Structure 1
Amino acid sequence: MVPSILLAGGGTAGHVNPLLAVAGEVRRRYPDASIRVLGTKEGLESRLVPEQGFSLDIVPKVPLPRRPSAQWVSLPGNLRRAVAAAHQVMEEQKPDLVMGFGGYVSTPAYLAAKQLGIPIVIHEQNARPGLANKLGARFAQEVMVTFESTALPGARAVGLPLRADVAAQAVSSPQALAQKRLEAGEYFGISPHRSTLLVTGGSLGAVSLNRAVSGAARSILNAGAQILHVTGKDKAEGVREQVARLEPQLASRYVVVEYMDRMDLAYAACDLVICRAGAGTVCEIAALGVPAVFVPLPIGNGEQRLNAQPLVSAGGALMVADEDLSPDWIEKTIPLLMLDGPQLARMRDAARTVGHPGATAHIVDRLSALAEWPR
């Protein structure tokens, strides 16, 4: 029996990265498996899925409006076309399972699979589920969630599928981690021996984080630390202007990049991270045991605050509202924390109690059992 699976999800890294983690683990275990991905031509998956060597089948983007709007008028026709496109892929591939990760393409995937009688598995990464997975959970054979608090019928908390490099790093020996920190220092041009603050607003960046940290840079650098700052695409100019105002000996310890392809090295380099609280970020930080300051995205349905809460409650992270984040808050909080080695060590240990570094393997175990693939 040759395993066959169709994965659906896209739009943002929060949907695409878990999908690719599962696809990669299925491919590792079953090199001959048929693995196809449903996605849109506009989402991040249009680039990342082919880069990872998987077949991407395009379906029309179908936003599900949360409130009455003009989009409701075009929704039935758009949804019919998207379901028909997903149906065609499934008729061609004949997958054993359809697994969805939420996002625009998951709704038509769930509906087409239901029509064809193909078992459905869903994975919801956020503490507060999205509309697509709320729908899919009604008729899915297996409902997997990242967080215990996620309210979906029949949900099983399994953690978040992590990228292979991050999952491997999470279970590395202290010697291997020390070597990776040296590699990170060389890669970024920073000292592996200085306390390092990582700042990242995710793939799109976060202007409020950029302004607050760059505005407080002198106090952090004067404490002896260094900063690795991922600004987001086209968001580096303001940060670089602030860095240019610093004395050269301080500015040399503030590294600015727009986008980060090697987050494994960024995590290895840092002693503390200031970041948003997307599910992927929270779960990577927990698995790796990186002390964090979470600044949840202030828009949306509040899921980022819920994502971060278990790690904050365990003592592995702090949380500050976006509206309260300022250079003054940074100056009063971050330099002292970065100088407090015992506190950072306690936060590292606490974070690991919340992490699930083996989530990807566990999820594929469940898929294998459901589809009766050879073990």
Structure 2
Amino acid sequence: MKKNQIIFTGGGSGGHVVPALTLISKLKSQNFEIIYFGSYTGIESKLTEGKVDRYIGISTGKIRRYLSVENFIDIFKVFIGLIQSLWKIFFLKKGPLVIFSMGGFVSVPVVIAGKLLGAKVFIHEQTTRVGLANKVASKFADKVFVSFEDSLKFFPQGKVQLSGYPVRDIFLDKTIQTKSYKGIDLENKRKPLIFVTGGGNGSKLLNDKIKHNLEHLTGTYDIIHQVGASYIEEYRKLENESYKTADFLGDEMPDIFKAADVVLSRSGAGTVAELMALGKPSLFIPLKIAQKNEQFHNAMAAKESVGSIVVEEDDFGSIDLLATFEKIRALDKDKGPALRNNAVDFLLAQIRASYE
């Protein structure tokens, strides 16, 4: 049976790629040939390795909202990327074709080229605030899907639909597969568990706060702390029976999320959506320098949905961490998951319908 072709694009950060991989994993078993357009050496080239049928690298540049000499250089890179995309898609296209963009500047030339060549163009916006790349790309899109209701107002009303965030299936099942981490039992806990993460690169702000309160906290809690590669040597020396560190967590992270009584985290869209899917109130410290303060708005969506606590960076240093954790533990945990995988089902249905 002839396979349907679909092109995914998006990159610049894992936040654009991970939700794409959630959809890709489903489509691979549904008679689709999956092609991914990304930058030559960006994170998308690494994260998609072995998970797509073909990866095509193109030239990419960043469009800035302010005057910069780099804009003049990057506009040529974007133009080259557009020519490359037109050339590649023209010779790839064997029938109906969907371009599914997850955002990031690498996606813009692919979206424009796809539209010029008659493909159906879908865009997904993961965050509560809209990046410039998706704003530009939306002009060429047939449909724009958003993760949060608050994002609807940023796109043309005739195109935009609320789909939700495509959360991985593992976050919709509260069963814990990983039974322990470095001797801390995740299933039959001897003490309540705190999980701390500042993302894959870690957060000095969160790390320092835990370090300064470590003795106080470990009297009550076990702690698993993703500190980031740059901090692992420093923090590994602090490990004891109740405190374990990691530079980066991969397959273990969903189970640690599930087991944790309290999560202290930055508030990237993926993390927020996953914790909302688990119905787990958390303590979010939004990254102050995030574009359009998007992490703050992501965290506020979780506050409204499951009662998470949001503390801005400037106030984080002065809070009583133990008292705040106890406040989170006292919150109503009977709300259940705030998100279902309706987003995945909905988006897959939109894709399939485009080939009928």
Q: What TM-score do you get using the length of structure 2 for normalisation?
A: 0.91
CA distance in 1, matches of 2:209, 2:336: 25
> Does structure 2 retain, via aligned residues, the 8 Å contact 1:277–1:297?
yes
Which residues in structure 2 correspond to 1:142-153 (within 5 Å)?
142-150=143-151, 151-153=154-156
Deviation at 1:315, TM superposition (A): 4.0
Q: Deviations over 1:21-71 (max 9, x none)?
A: 1111111222xx211001113321121101424421101121111211111
* Alignment partner, residue 161 of structure 1: 166
> Does structure 2 retain, via aligned residues, the 8 Å contact 1:5–1:35?
yes
Deviation at 1:328, TM superposition (A): 4.9
* Alignment partner, residue 272 of structure 1: 262
Deviation at 1:80, TM superposition (A): 1.2
* Alignment partner, residue 253 of structure 1: 242
The more displaced of 88-97 and 140-149 is 88-97
> Does structure 2 retain, via aligned residues, the 8 Å contact 1:213–1:327?
no
Which residues in structure 2 correspond to 1:186-335 (within 5 Å)?
186-191=180-185, 192-193=188-189, 194-223=191-220, 225-241=221-237, 243=238, 251-262=240-251, 263-299=253-289, 300-326=291-317, 328-334=319-325
Residue type of the partner of 2:264? I
> Does structure 2 retain, via aligned residues, the 8 Å contact 1:106–1:132?
yes
> Does structure 1 retain, via aligned residues, the 8 Å contact 2:38–2:56?
yes
Partner secondary structure for residue 281 of structure 1: helix
Task: Summarize the Cα distance change of 1:51–1:260 in structure 2 as closer, same or farther, 3 Å threshold.
Answer: farther
Task: Summarize the Cα distance change of 1:230–1:327 in structure 2 as closer, same or farther, 3 Å threshold.
Answer: farther
Task: Summarize the Cα distance change of 1:261–1:147 in structure 2 as closer, same or farther, 3 Å threshold.
Answer: same
Task: Summarize the Cα distance change of 1:64–1:365 in structure 2 as closer, same or farther, 3 Å threshold.
Answer: same
The structure with the largest helix share of the pair is 1
The more displaced of 83-92 and 269-278 is 83-92
> Does structure 1 retain, via aligned residues, the 8 Å contact 2:63–2:75?
no
> Does structure 2 retain, via aligned residues, the 8 Å contact 1:228–1:256?
yes
Partner secondary structure for residue 10 of structure 1: coil
* Alignment partner, residue 10 of structure 1: 11
CA distance in 2, matches of 1:266, 1:364: 28
* Alignment partner, residue 106 of structure 1: 107
Does residue 1:20 correspond to 2:21, yes or no?
Answer: yes
CA distance in 2, matches of 1:42, 1:187: 32
Backbone CA RMSD of aligned residues: 1.9
Partner secondary structure for residue 56 of structure 2: strand
Partner secondary structure for residue 6 of structure 2: strand
> Does structure 2 retain, via aligned residues, the 8 Å contact 1:316–1:350?
no
> Does structure 2 retain, via aligned residues, the 8 Å contact 1:216–1:328?
no
Residue type of the partner of 2:183? G
CA distance in 1, matches of 2:180, 2:306: 31
* Alignment partner, residue 63 of structure 1: 62
Task: Summarize the Cα distance change of 1:71–1:217 in structure 2 as closer, same or farther, 3 Å threshold.
Answer: same
Give 5+ residue unaligned stretches, structure 2: none
Give 5+ residue unaligned stretches, structure 1: 245-250
Q: Deviations over 1:176-220 (max 9, x none)?
A: x2xx1xx43434420231211111111221111111122211222
CA distance in 2, matches of 1:25, 1:185: 27
Task: Summarize the Cα distance change of 1:286–1:54 in structure 2 as closer, same or farther, 3 Å threshold.
Answer: farther
Deviation at 1:351, TM superposition (A): 6.5
CA distance in 2, matches of 1:323, 1:237: 27
* Alignment partner, residue 170 of structure 1: 172
Partner secondary structure for residue 298 of structure 1: coil
| Aligned residues with identical type, % of pairs | 28
Residue type of the partner of 1:72? N
Q: What TM-score do you get using the length of structure 1 for normalisation?
A: 0.86
Which residues in structure 2 correspond to 1:38-187 (within 5 Å)?
38-94=37-93, 96-150=97-151, 151-153=154-156, 154-163=159-168, 167-172=169-174, 177=175, 180=176, 183-187=177-181
Residue type of the partner of 2:184? I
> Does structure 2 retain, via aligned residues, the 8 Å contact 1:8–1:98?
yes
Residue type of the partner of 2:345? A
Partner secondary structure for residue 68 of structure 2: coil
